[in-house]
Structure 1
Amino acid sequence: MALAFAGLVQAAPLNVNFDNFTYSGSVTRYPSLLDAQNQTNSTGTFPIVTVTASGGDTRLNARDGNIAVTSEASAAYGSDLTYMSTAWYFTTQTTQVDGWGNPNNTNDGFIQYYLTSSPTVTGGWQPGHTRFRLTVAGGDGDSWDAARLWPAPCLGGGAPAVSAGVFHAFNLDVTANFASPATLNGATGWYEASAMPSSFSGTVSGIFENNNNSALTCGADSVGFYRFSYTLTGSGSWAADNSATYADGGETRFPPVSFWAAPAAAPTTVAPVPGPGKVELLGLSLVLGLMVGVFRRGAARSGRLH
């Protein structure tokens, strides 16, 4: 009974695509995975600082971010994807390639977590459909060898390989609030919101191992283990401040986007305390009720990789 219940609540049906926020915080280096897990013997803590490029300054001691998560969705929303990264790809120079002049397009403060699955996703609309919760936990974030994190204190640009590695722990927890309730999409049966959140906040943290010898160009201790802890804030970003867009390989240009979709929020109820002899029946009814709410998986949808 317990195993069946755990399997059914493993992932939540939802779809999120949001890249108008910033993250700030610090990275701490450790000589081993055990040290990083126990937060012992650190070799330095390095905060994200403001960076300047031809497109101007990043927001103060912060980087623009991007979240794209699809879980247990129909083909209308795409296949499973769990993605969080720096929004490096916007540019104010429309005749140049994506990311040109973007001060966020640097290994300094960079992060990229990418999984072509969503086994650790929970959340969705809260009652009233004006608040959306999203959490992600676990996974190596390294589909297509895409995992990246700033090899602090290495500063500046450099090839993406300098920040390559694998996540040993990853935890994302965000909340978006909206001025108006989400609306029902009659074709999909999900509630959707495409307005920018009136407020957005959360955290992302974890442990990353840089296992790529390219990082040795930043110093002998750049290959190793990093514990990161960031605070997410929105709506707002360098990209929005500067009317930056990206082309994604085509002619159409896209500004920062906001899209949130999930089934109707479950009503908030308080379950009665079962009397003697009713515990077994209560457990069975919970499992059967959850089975009714299972959603099928959808088709593929890609994220923006650095």
Structure 2
Amino acid sequence: MTTPLLDIDNLQVAFDTRAGTVQALRGVTLSVAAGETLAIVGESGSGKSVTAQAVMGLIDVPGRIAGGAIRWRGAPLAGRSARKVWGKDIAMVFQNPMTSLNPLMTIGEQIAETVRLHLGLPRAAARDRAAELLSAVGISGARRRLDQYPHEFSGGMRQRVMIAMAIACEPKLLIADEPTTALDVTIQAQILELLSGLQESLGLSIILITHDLGIVAGLCHRVAVMYAGQIIETGPVDDIFERPAHPYTQGLIRSTPRLDVPEDRLTAIEGTPPGLLHPPEGCAFRARCPIAIDACALPQRLQPWGAGTVACCRAGEPAWRAA
């Protein structure tokens, strides 16, 4: 087997608070292959963004990596050597471009700073590269736009600027943390089409963090489902949608509106995710699971399931009756 680009093994991230230690990630294990698009899905608070931040070295006090390993092309992604990887080989598009861009710097300055830092280009060449990048992400009048500030761009255009910054050094892996959340559906489609085109032209691998299962179905190759700081199911996108094994995955798909099935009301998974100050023993989903049994109180570890994995002693059993 070829070595994956990114390999995360038993990653644990904790945040120390006055109330105690929040166990944000509890043994996350996943990998990303070259040219692959991996979706990470789950409810808010499940640990999706924390996983991305850990990969990018952005866990800071009061947070800390409490255990596990992150490897890039087989080598540990930590310490001084990792600084050459972050922003160059691995780049990230954040959820809210307005808070990610510096309001006091022009767009051109911010993009040029990236290429000057990682590629060592002189100012004039860095500015030319910034104009090329803006054109590449579909912003017209790119050279004129270089001297404008973030507030002079629309939300969709700011997100394009963030993507331009992320691909400035032609990275091998792009992490997109809910890149279309604050955009209307038309702009969402444009951004997703842009990401798909860039993947094809640059040979990118992508980690897409999202709540939108429709995006996952149309763009991704493989899916990792997170719940309460853990990966509970992985598999090819077709398998996850057609034959979800974990009751939580079944619930997520069941609660997604469909155009081909008339419904009087939206369905939802009852209850709320557990607090991670004191995570429950055994399966964290069992309090909300309609088919939970006594065995669910024991630790549930990822086991092979078809072409993927699942952490459930009742994997594959239907958990929800048809709506």
Q: What TM-score, normalized to structure 1?
A: 0.21
Q: What TM-score, normalized to structure 2?
A: 0.20
Question: As a proportion of its length, which structure holds more strand?
Answer: 1
Question: As a proportion of its length, which structure holds more helix?
Answer: 2
RCO higher in structure (CA 8 A, sep ≥6): 1
